[in-house]
Amino acid sequence: MSMPVLMYHDVVDAGMPDQSGFPGAAAAHYKLDTAHFTAHLHALASSGLHFPSVLAQEASADRTCLLTFDDGGESATRVATLLDRHGMRGHFFITTQRIGTAGFASAAELLALHRAGHVVGSHSHTHPADISSLDHAALAAQWVESRDRLEQILGEPVQVASVPGGFYTHRVARVVAAAGFRYLFTSEPTVAMHSVEACRVLGRYAVWHDTAARDALALATGEGSQRQRQWLSWNLKKPLKRWSRPVYQLVRRRWLGEHS
Ligand SMILES: [Zn+2]
């Protein structure tokens, strides 16, 4: 089984990255301006792919790609309006501690997204710096607290989650599965899926502020070398990340360019 998934974050006015989601330069790297995101959607719509909810029957069909949006920034409503024009469904992963705070979506907005057919899921409660380093109790609390808050807002079971910061481990997935989630999205750039207990784990391809629309299209369709390039870059960085964080940061700046 395989499924291509794109990982977006916020969509903001040009030059105003702090408008939605987490502030700062690192987060801004993942935020597209509205015109650019609109161009992405036009390119994706031209592909002939379907962009359904992972919970829909059609999501298992061929020629499918899933669109996800991390962090829970207030731009979720703007994103959903743009997706609706193309009949696409979004998956919005919410940092539940931030709901209703400056730059983040409110409870009423999340309920509206859910009622419009988009998927509202968990992105942990507080978005810890490295969720995989938490002890069992703290790790479980992140997902249980987040699930409970969303279920209170939506009035329905919440079945979908994404790992903050890309800090996926098998242990994280086991805890997410135990909290009752059926789908967990990681930042591993792969179309391969696997299951951890009753939870299906899906990788995602990252989209950055300067990712060209044609490259997002290539990630969705699998044509060209974009998928392989992300996979190679991720797997090159992975051992470095584990080996030494400062060296990883240096290598990232000096050799790879900031977003390769
Ligand atoms: Zn995040």
| pLDDT tens sequence across 49-86 | 999 999 997 767 789 999 999 999 999 999 999 999 99
Report the predicted TM-score, pTM, of the whole model to 2 decimal places: 0.91
Write down the domain spans for the chain.
5-224, 225-260
Query: What are 30's two structure tokens?
Result: 């993942």
CA distances, 154 to each of 44, 101, 109, 167, 214 (Å): 29, 18, 10, 27, 35
Decide if 183 contacts 202 (C-beta within 8 A): yes
Residues with CB under 5 A from ligand 1 (ion): 70-71, 164
Q: Which has the closest alpha carbon to 122: 82, 176, 175?
A: 176
Centre of ligand 1 from the C-alpha of residue 71, in Å: 5
Q: What is the pLDDT of residues 78-118, one digit of tens each?
A: 999 999 999 999 999 999 999 999 999 999 999 999 999 99
* pLDDT score, position 119: 98
Amino acid at 178: A
Q: Which residues of the chain have pLDDT under 70?
A: 59, 240-260
The rounded distance, in Å, linking the Cα atoms of 94 and 108 is 13
Centre of ligand 1 from the C-alpha of residue 190, in Å: 18
* pLDDT score, position 214: 97
Centre of ligand 1 from the C-alpha of residue 72, in Å: 8
Centre of ligand 1 from the C-alpha of residue 165, in Å: 5
Centre of ligand 1 from the C-alpha of residue 88, in Å: 22
Which superfamily is assigned to 5-224 in CATH?
Glycoside hydrolase/deacetylase (3.20.20.370)
The rounded distance, in Å, linking the Cα atoms of 5 and 51 is 10
Q: Which has the closest alpha carbon to 92: 103, 101, 105, 82?
A: 105
Centre of ligand 1 from the C-alpha of residue 123, in Å: 7
* pLDDT score, position 238: 75
